[in-house]
Structures are given as C-alpha cells and as structure tokens.
Amino acid sequence: MRTAEDIAVAASHFDEDHSTPLARAAEHVVLARHGARMRPALPRPEGTRIFVVANQKGGVGKTTSTVNVAAALGQLGQRVLVVDLDPQGNASTALGVEHRRGVASTYDALVDGVPLAEVASPSPEVDNLMVVPATIDLAGAEIELVSVVARESRLRKAIHGHPQVGAAAEAGEDRFDYVLIDCPPSLGLLTLNALVAGNEMMIPIQAEYYALEGLGQLLETVEMVKAHLNPGLDVSTILVTMYDARTRLAAGVAEEVREHFGDQVLKTTIPRSVRVSEAPSYGQTVMTYDPGSPGALSYLEAAREIAIKGAPS
C-alpha cells in the first residue's frame, strides 16, 4: 500500500510534468481524498474554543460554514463538537446524524437539563466529530424557557458541564478542541443562549449588496451580552462566503468588510459553489462529498487559518 508521502511525491511530480489546470485539479483531488492521513495534524489549543456561529440575516452560509469548518477541523486532527441550535436541523442533516422527533437532542439538554454527553452522537462522515442534533421540538423551546430561572444561560451550563470541555489540565487529552454552535437566523432566546455560552463568535457574511444590512443590530446585541451576561465573548472571526471572483461587487463587498473589521476577517474567502450546496442533500459536508472542489479546499484553508490564528488573548 502506498504511503501518504509516496502519493504526495507522485502528485508533485505529476504536476511538474503536466502543469495544466486539469492536472493540478487531479492533484488536489488525490491530496484531498486522503484527508487527515495526508495532512499533518495542527497543534491543539490549550483549552476548548467555543464558537457561536450567527448572523440573523438568512441565506449567508451560516449552517454551511458551521458544518464545513467543523469537518475541516476534524480532518486537521482537531476534536470537534457541533451543537445544532436551529430547529430546522440543517447542520444535523449535513453531518449525517439522525434528528427526527423523539431523538435525544439540544431540546433535551436545554429544557430538561439532560447532560450534553448523553445527547451527542458521532458523525459518520468525519473522525473526531461529535454532533448534538436539533429536532423540531426545539421550535417550542423558546416558549418553554420563558418561565425558567436563568433561562439565557442553560446552554452555557450544559456545555461547560461536559467532561470533555475545558482546559487541558482539567479535561485531559480527550477534550474537545472546538465547540461550534449553529444558531437559528433570528435574535431570540436560542441565539441568546449561544451568545452567553460562547467565548468566540464567527459571523459568515455573503459577498453581496446587502451583506452588512442588519449586522449592526447583531453587533449591538453582542455588546449588550458582553456588558451584562458574558464579558468573555469576542467577535474573533468574520468569514466572507458566496464570493464570486468574476464580479466587481464581490470584491467591493469583501474590501468594505475588511475595512470595517480588519484582522477579524479571514484571508480565505469561500467561493459560490454548486458542490457546497449539493452536499447536504446527500447527508454530507462538501469536505467528504467532493473534497477536491474549490469550496472544500477553501473551507479547509479557513479552518487552518482559524486554528493557527488562535483564540483572542
């Protein structure tokens, strides 16, 4: 059986001898399909980094970015937990986890206080990736939580109560390196729970005309949460999605976002891609559905950038 090193050497020679776009694409597919075996694992963070992925504007690639960054981090040797907090359960679908009514889910953790470790399932698509699915029951959770004491911190309690969440000294080698919380596209009680639970926030922004519309309200909410409920929350990552390099508009929007947010914006942009959109219908992320596609390679690079950049000090 050929080793990863043999394949990498062969692929590089192939590219030297056949430096055409098709040959280079073939090389990327070979390298990508061998996944984690081909890629040196990135250094693990000292403790669990808890990301809230939110943007109340729909259709910006929020769930898509959550699942693909999570899968990419898993392929880069990180241990990841995805918490699906959207009643539609799209993240659960993309990660191949059962989320029909009656399945143990985020609803049970939030409303009934069931430990998160008991409702998490391994994703069949990616090693090192666990998922807490969302069922349609979650749609009623906001109403049920209204009368509950400390209702805005239920998710924080659940996540920090997980034995694999925390600093290396406490949680050990089996700890999760990343927790990614996929929020619903609204600023209700579920999203508030996520904002109180997280240390970092990732905001996907589409490279389109209305990209920054509504972002002000989201950032105002973040500031209120920091002031009253979670002073440790930091908007650490802005990811530009649905980028079409053929248009001046996309370049202009990306430039405007960088002017507003500076170093918080990842250098990697995610291209508009049919393959990225198709993958969830097969119960997969694009990282396994078409690992050699531009979308998959971009998410891999974005995940690498997040990991290397590290948590804000």
From the centroid of its chain, how far is CA 206? Answer: 15
pLDDT (tens digit per residue) in 269-302: 999 999 999 999 998 999 999 999 999 999 999 9
For the chain, which domains are there?
Answer: 1-38 (no CATH), 44-309 (3.40.50.300)
Region of 217 on the Ramachandran plot (φ > 0 left; ψ -120 to 50 alpha; else beta): alpha
What is the H or E stretch that residue 49 is in? strand 49-53
> CA 290, CA 25: separation in Å to the nearest integer?
12
User: What are 168's two structure tokens?
Assistant: 């290396």
Strands 178-182 and 49-53: parallel
User: What pLDDT, on the 0 to 100 scale, is given for residue 310?
Assistant: 82
Please tell me the predicted confidence (pLDDT) of residue 260: 87
Position 109, amino acid: A
Mode of pairing for the β-strands spanning 129-132 and 234-241: unpaired
Which are the contacts of 35, defined by CB distance < 8 A and separation ≥ 6? 75, 291
Vertex 74: Cα angle to 69 and 78 (nearest 5): 110
Q: What pTM did the predictor assign?
A: 0.87
Integer Cα distance of 90 and 80 in angstroms: 18
Amino acid 82: pLDDT: 98
CA distances to 74, 83, 91, 96, 173 from 134, in Å: 21, 8, 8, 12, 28
Amino acid occupying residue 32 = A
Q: Note the residue count of the chain.
A: 313
Q: How high is the mean pLDDT in each 10-residue block of the chain (313 residues)?
A: 46 46 53 54 92 86 94 96 95 93 93 95 92 93 87 95 94 94 91 96 88 82 94 95 89 89 94 92 92 95 94 75
The model's pLDDT over 218-277, given as tens digits with 9 standing for 90+, comes to 899 999 999 999 999 999 999 999 898 888 988 998 998 899 899 999 999 999 999 999
Please give the pLDDT value at position 38.
Answer: 56
Q: Which residue has the tokens 């996309």?
A: 250
Distance CA 163, CA 158 (A): 10
User: Which residues does 151 contact at the CB level (< 8 Å), separation at least 6?
Assistant: 145, 189, 193
